[in-house]
């Protein structure tokens, strides 16, 4: 089962490292890999928890809308987007 981290947890991890804690220690506390932390930093650095939550909610809504669009356009149109997880080629 994939664990979804809350916006508060993401903001907590980013703020701890910004305050001077070692990345490895923060990753152990939060329970993530260093690669995941770097993705979070690239994507969410400088955002407050409410902004992180809003951004993730909008991304999820956008993903669902893209799937609906692909279904409406039919099987001849293939949806290629890195935000949609599925079969990898």
Q: How far apart (Å, rounded) are the C-alpha atoms in residues 57 and 51?
A: 10
- What is the overall mean pLDDT for the chain? 82
* 71-86: average pLDDT: 62
Q: How far apart (Å, rounded) are the C-alpha atoms in residues 86 and 38?
A: 23
Are 40 and 10 spatial neighbours (Cβ–Cβ below 8 Å)? yes
For residue 4, pLDDT over 70 is answered with yes
For residue 25, pLDDT over 90 is answered with yes
Residues 30-49 have pLDDT tens digits of 899 999 999 999 988 888 88
* 2-23: average pLDDT: 86
């Amino acid at each position: 089962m994939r664990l979804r981290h809350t916006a508060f947890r993401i903001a907590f991890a980013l703020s701890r490292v910004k305050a001077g804690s070692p990345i490895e220690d923060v990753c152990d506390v939060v329970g993530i890999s260093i690669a995941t932390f770097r993705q979070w930093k690239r994507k969410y650095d400088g955002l407050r928890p409410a902004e992180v939550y809003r951004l993730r909610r909008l991304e999820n809504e956008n993903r669902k809308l893209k799937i609906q669009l692909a279904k409406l356009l039919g099987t001849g149109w293939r949806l290629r987007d890195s935000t949609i997880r599925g079969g990898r080629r």
